[in-house]
Amino acid sequence: MPLFRSTREPIDPLVADLTAALDADRVRADGAQRSLAAHDASVFDGGIAGPVCFPETTEEVQAIMRIAEQHGSAVVPRGAGTGLAGGAIPLGRPVVVSTGRMNKVLSVDTDNRIAWVQPGVINLDLSKKLRPKGFHFAPDPSSQQVCTLGGNVANNSGGPHCLAYGVTDAHVVSLEVVLPDGQVAVLGGAEDETPGLDLRGAFVGSEGTLGIATKIGVRITPNAPAVRTLLLSFATVRDAAQTVSDIIAAGVVPAALEVMDQRMTVAVENYVAAGYPTDAAAVLLAEVEGLDGGVEIDAARIEELGRANSATDVRLAGSEKERAALWKGRKTAFGAVAQIAPDYYLHDTVVPRARLADILEQIYEITDRHEVTVMNVFHAGDGNLHPLLVFDAREQGTLERVHAAGAEILRASLAAGGVLSGEHGIGVEKQAYMDELFSPADLDHQNRLRQAFDPACRANPGKVLPMGHSCADIQALREMPTGVWG
């Protein structure tokens, strides 16, 4: 009998098989790495991750999927972790597949205007690579400096310039996807019309519940020959919202129409000195693109409509430096709120443009009643609202008030004829409200579609579909984050 017994824990068979398929450096089961993978950028408590894998090729993702299936483990894909709806929170100790090392731009075809990329390519990096060739990738989320194309596909992300160009779905032509059983499927194609069902369209926005994209074919957009950027100031948020509706009604479709309220512009100015007025109740950042003559006409029309709605000032960016400063202010708005409080809950609903002013007034009333500070910045052109509820989670009872206010904002948006999300996804944040938007039959058919891709429901369980309507309910119930359903 040996005098000493080893205190080393036995190697988990799942971890051992994953390590054999990749290598020890790219399979992490230590507490620190698992803790990092247990959270995303949402306000919800983290889940509990299983081993975290860092594949670099499609074949390695296939191996991970097959090993996870053999061990009965769920799988959760993860990009940069910038999601705001809890979509990347691991439930039930799944294998976490981090696509950050799959970060190559594989090819750029300017003749056919298509680029093939891996899912870990950062959104802004793609546009930087394309810019010398005269192109860019149009969807531009505010997190584009860090978010990845795989995450953009998963959530069908938008951005300020998606008013004219459309959200991610309009810019994805084809996907190479590893299904939960390890098979590879190619969805869509480079042709203008592909035969059969639009499974590409079903996959975009599926939040990792149908498989993992390993190669993405995206449309690339020519850089506009001329751009004009205007900043309009208003004495009321209603005037700014009405101007947005009037611009679209007049047949002008700008590249972007962004509104920020006074609290936000003050925070932005204190943060980056972008050139926003701090005495206006709201500002409208409008940008038009195209040929020189056309943009001059559109810019003049926007100024005319703004002044008809009592704009107190209209300023045209006089240089590329000034234009870049205005956009830097808009893109860093969420970071600027750290001056106000250490935490924020960023909402994402869509309402009809005609109801923008009414819903904004409701949002102010709701947050005042719950004693929560709100700062509004949003994609006004397509009615995509982003109220930020700013708070300090260390203060007792604050998080409960924030969630209560958030729930009322969601329901007010639905009552106005809106939808739950414009670009952040459903994740765990909004799944409890899905049956307020969809009928039981709608949810049943969404679940059937999911099962067609993933019969065992092991891909990102516990997301999107509400409890009672998902084949993954059992997986979802394990280690559910607290504070999700309240």
Q: Kindly report the number of other CB atoms within 10 A of residue 317's CB atom.
A: 20
C-alpha–C-alpha distance, residues 20 and 478, integer Å: 28
Q: Which of 131, 115, 136, 122 is nearest to 216 (CA)?
A: 115
Question: Domain for residue 445, yes or no?
Answer: no
Question: Domain for residue 98, yes or no?
Answer: no
What domain range includes position 128?
Answer: 105-222
The model carries a pTM of 0.92
Blockwise average pLDDT, block size 10, the chain, 486 residues = 47 94 95 94 88 98 98 96 95 95 98 97 98 97 95 96 95 98 95 85 97 98 97 97 96 96 96 96 98 96 98 97 96 91 94 94 97 95 95 94 96 97 94 95 95 94 87 53 37
Question: Domain for residue 480, yes or no?
Answer: no
* In a shared domain, residues 344 and 359: yes
End residue of a domain, out of 415, 440, 471: 415
Q: Kindly report the number of other CB atoms within 10 A of residue 279's CB atom.
A: 11
Q: Kindly report the number of other CB atoms within 10 A of residue 388's CB atom.
A: 24
Assign residue 140 the CATH number of its domain: 3.30.465.10
Per-residue confidence (pLDDT) for residue 484, from 0 to 100 = 36
Question: Domain for residue 23, yes or no?
Answer: no
Assign residue 321 the CATH number of its domain: 3.30.70.2190
CA distances from 460 to 39, 49, 56, 68, 73 (A): 14, 12, 20, 12, 11
C-alpha–C-alpha distance, residues 442 and 437, integer Å: 9
Assign residue 344 the CATH number of its domain: 3.30.70.2740
Question: Domain for residue 172, yes or no?
Answer: yes
Give the contacts of 300 (CB within 8 A, at least 6 positions apart).
Answer: none
- The C-alpha angle 257, 260, 264, rounded to 5 degrees, equals 155
Per-residue confidence (pLDDT) for residue 117, from 0 to 100 = 98
* In a shared domain, residues 109 and 217: yes
Question: Domain for residue 266, yes or no?
Answer: yes
Cβ atoms of residues 69 and 112 within 8 Å: no
Question: Domain for residue 18, yes or no?
Answer: no
* In a shared domain, residues 347 and 313: no
Helix (H) or strand (E) holding 208, with range, is none
β-bridge mates for residue 52, sequence order:
28, 96
Per-residue confidence (pLDDT) for residue 485, from 0 to 100 = 30
C-alpha–C-alpha distance, residues 86 and 403, integer Å: 14
* In a shared domain, residues 347 and 388: yes
Per-residue confidence (pLDDT) for residue 8, from 0 to 100 = 55
Tokens of 234: 């208003």
Helix axes 356-369, 237-249, angle to 10 degrees: 150
Give the contacts of 1 (CB within 8 A, at least 6 positions apart).
Answer: none
* In a shared domain, residues 122 and 178: yes
* In a shared domain, residues 218 and 285: no
Residue 122: how many CA atoms within 13 Å on its side-chain side? 12
C-alpha–C-alpha distance, residues 357 and 420, integer Å: 18
Per-residue confidence (pLDDT) for residue 364, from 0 to 100 = 97
Give the contacts of 88 (CB within 8 A, at least 6 positions apart).
Answer: 40, 76, 77, 78, 79, 81, 208, 427
Cβ atoms of residues 155 and 207 within 8 Å: yes
* In a shared domain, residues 388 and 403: yes
What domain count does the chain have? 3
* In a shared domain, residues 134 and 216: yes
* In a shared domain, residues 351 and 403: yes
* In a shared domain, residues 250 and 187: no
For the segment 73-120, what is each residue's pLDDT rounded down to a tens digit? 999 999 999 999 999 999 989 999 999 999 999 999 999 999 999 999
Give the contacts of 243 (CB within 8 A, at least 6 positions apart).
Answer: 232, 234, 284, 305, 306, 309, 311
Q: What is the DSSP letter of 478?
A: T
End residue of a domain, out of 165, 191, 222: 222
End residue of a domain, out of 281, 312, 334: 334
* In a shared domain, residues 230 and 324: yes
Coil, helix or strand at residue 483: coil
For the segment 170-181, what is each residue's pLDDT rounded down to a tens digit? 999 999 999 999
The torsion region of residue 202 among left (phi > 0), alpha (psi -120 to 50) and beta comes to: alpha
* In a shared domain, residues 140 and 183: yes
Question: Domain for residue 27, yes or no?
Answer: no
CA distances from 333 to 41, 86, 178, 271, 364 (A): 15, 21, 36, 9, 19
